[in-house]
Amino acid sequence: MERVKVTRNYQVTIPASIRNRLGIHEGDILEFHIEDDKIIIKKLSPVRPRIRLGRRLTVEEIERDIERGLNEGGH
């Protein structure tokens, strides 16, 4: 069992052993439920596949590519 401390901003750090076992990475979405006096945290599957380009994209590049996709899709 792992123990963590709640920060003054009500944040907690997921221990590395749990992140590694569940494959939790930055940007993943987690869902919280309450069962009696327990907090249940579930890792959600991504809604869409993520593309790794080997570099970070700027907001401008993302918006340009979205616009290009809409134009090519006939919308």
Please name the amino acid found at residue 25.
H
pLDDT band at 70 (very low <50, low <70, confident <90, very high): confident
Give residue-wise pLDDT tens across range 9-27.
999 999 999 999 999 999 8
| Per-residue tokens: 41 | 């945290």
pLDDT band at 6 (very low <50, low <70, confident <90, very high): very high
pLDDT for the residue numbered 48: 66
For strands 38-43 and 30-35, give the pairing: antiparallel
Q: Does the predicted model carry a pTM greater than 0.85?
A: no
Please name the amino acid found at residue 17.
S
How far apart are alpha carbons 35 and 27 in whole angstroms?
25
